[in-house]
Structure formats: C-alpha cells, structure tokens
Amino acid sequence: MTLIDEIKKRSVYVDAAIDELLPITHPEGLYKASRHLVDAGGKRLRPTVLILAAEAVGSNLKAVLPAAVAVELVHNFTLIHDDIMDKDDIRRGIPAVHTMWGENVAILAGDTLYSKAFEILSKVKNEPARILKCMNVLSKTCTEICEGQWLDMDFETRERVTESEYIEMVEKKTSVLYAAAAKIGALLGGASDEVSEALSEYGRLIGIGFQMYDDVLDMVTPQEVLGKVRGSDLMEGKHTLIVIDAFEKGVKLDIFGKEKATQEETDEAVRILTECGSIDYVKNLAISYINEGKAKLDVLEDRPEKELLLQIADYMIAREY
C-alpha cells in the first residue's frame, strides 16, 4: 500500500467523523458555508499526521478522531480567512467561500470552524490533563498562525525582508499546525513530554521544508501541472526565500511586483534565479529541514506508523505541485 493509500484510508474516517461532529444544522446557510471547503477535500495531511503520531506511540485511530477533525477544521478556518484577505476567488478548484456567500458570511463560517474545533477537541475521551495540554497547544497555534499571516502581509509593504524573518513567517503561518498535529497525537496517545516535543519538532521542521519547497515549485513547475501561472509569486511581489536570497546577491528582477508579465519575461526571471543559484539554495535548504525533521523521529520505536511519518516528510519535497 502506497503512502497516498495510507492517507486515504485514514481520511475516510476523518470525513465520516466530520459528518458526525460538524453536521449541517440550523442555521443551515452558515453550516453549508462552513462545510464548503471542508467537503471539497484536500489531502487531509494534518489530521493524518496527528493520527499516525498517536498510532506510533501505541494508541489507535478512533481514540483520537475528534482531535484529527479539530486540526482539519482549524486548517480550513485559516484558508477561508486567507482567501478573503488575499482576494482569491478559487480554492481547491471550486469558488472560495467569500465568492459564494460574500465576505460577511465567510468570516462567520471561518469563526464557526475555529470555535467548533475546540468544542470537538473537548470530546476526546482521555485524561483531563492531557486534553488541557492539547487545548493549550491548539490555542497557541491559532495565535501563531495569525501572527504569521500578519508578518506575510507586512512583508508586502517592504522593499527587503531577511531570511530569518521569512523563516519565522512560514513557521508561524504554515508549520506550527503540522507541529500541533504531531504533538497532540503524541500527547493523546500517552507519550511522554519528551517524545511529544520531539514529534512537535518533526512537524515544525517538515512544515518549514514544505513551504520552502512550495516556493521552488512555483518557479520550476509548468503551468499545466502547477494549476496556476508559473512565477506567480514573483508577479505578486512575494518575498519568498528565493527572492530574498537573490536580492542579497544583488540580482535585479524586472517582473517582481509586476501584475502582468509575458511568458518570455517569466522564463527570463526563472533563468536568472537558476543561474544565480537562489532556486538551488532554497531547494537544498528545504531538503535539510526535512532531513532534520525526520531525525526527530529517532525517539520512536520502529513500527509501520513511524515509517509512514518518515514517508510524509519525504513527500513534502517529492511532490510536483
């Protein structure tokens, strides 16, 4: 069975639990909007990481399903609000929530997912002290995600951003939820604080690697595979680590922040970034983060779930889009 098969096997249970724990109820319109992106799919990577972390320390899937749902709902809450702020009309191949219902409803839908996540997490049958720890982890994570989004928006107003600032932003905006998923799974699975913290570091590091590699894919993947215009980050004026590294080397990018660029201009920018070594630098750095994250799993006994966690780390830098 492949990694994707293993993820799908667990996502079936997650989807069923979402139906049970977040039913479309009164007022129907609010809950339809809340479920819109959740029902559109997604890879369910974060809940899978949580489940595998629990299984890797000796627990089982059904014991942590509400927690897995909670993490997935937090992820979707951030997507709904991100789409409003970024004015993105499409998500997962369907109209964004704010496109379908308007911004006011979309804000309420995101807020509903956020609050329901904690209500659902409280339904886990476990030691009260462990549930409280998990509540603290998830609430702190939500705050950090907001901080990361603020940093990302702040970068748009600046001419230069440093590498350390970029890493702080992607850690807070992207990787902290992977860290929370792994830590919550370990805690609910009965792991020690030491093991739980190692799993948290695994999630944090592979999450950073994931985002760095995502920036590489934006540059090197053909449009028909990527599903969006290649080099769109450049045209949007995003301070990715590739751009940050290139600017530090004195490279000039004419299409940076240029809303519309020709295919030739984009190809030229990618060529420049390749020749100056910035794309390879970020790709190699992403790989190093992934490898560092994998090493954190040395605290686990050898078992199939540990191997799957290692495969998920590799998947972060093996995907094509």
Q: What pLDDT is recorded for position 5?
A: 94
Residue 321 lies in a domain: no
Question: Average pLDDT, stretch 145-163?
Answer: 94
Residue 199 lies in a domain: yes
Domain that holds residue 153: 3-315
Q: Are strands 90-91 and 94-95 parallel, antiparallel or unpaired?
A: antiparallel
The CATH number covering residue 152 comes to 1.10.600.10
Cβ neighbours around 27 below 10 Å, total: 10
User: With bands split at pLDDT 50, 70 and 90, how would you rate the model's confidence at 309?
Assistant: very high
Please count the structural domains in the chain.
1
Residue 176 lies in a domain: yes
Report yes or no: 84 and 105 within 8 Å, Cβ to Cβ. no
Q: Following DSSP, what letter does each residue of 291-303 receive, concatenated?
A: HHHHHGGGGSPS-
Residue 282 lies in a domain: yes
Q: What pLDDT is recorded for position 306?
A: 98
Residue 188 lies in a domain: yes
Residue 320 lies in a domain: no
What's the pTM value of the predicted model, to 2 decimals? 0.94
CA 212/CA 217 separation, integer angstroms = 9
Please give the distance of CA 148 from its chain centroid, rounded to a whole number: 12
- pLDDT tens digit string along 99-147? 999 999 999 999 999 999 999 999 999 999 999 999 999 999 999 999 9
CA-to-CA dists, residue 148 to 1, 21, 155, angstroms: 36, 29, 11
Residue 204 lies in a domain: yes
Report yes or no: 134 and 188 within 8 Å, Cβ to Cβ. yes
| Mutual angle of helices 304-315 and 45-56, in 10-degree steps | 150
CA-to-CA dists, residue 154 to 87, 143, 146, 162, 213, angstroms: 16, 17, 12, 13, 22
- pLDDT tens digit string along 45-96? 999 999 999 999 999 999 999 999 999 999 999 999 999 998 888 888 789 9
CA-to-CA dists, residue 253 to 69, 237, 266, 272, angstroms: 43, 10, 10, 8
Question: Average pLDDT, stretch 229-237?
Answer: 79
Cis geometry, peptide bond prior to residue 222 (ω within 30 degrees of 0)? no
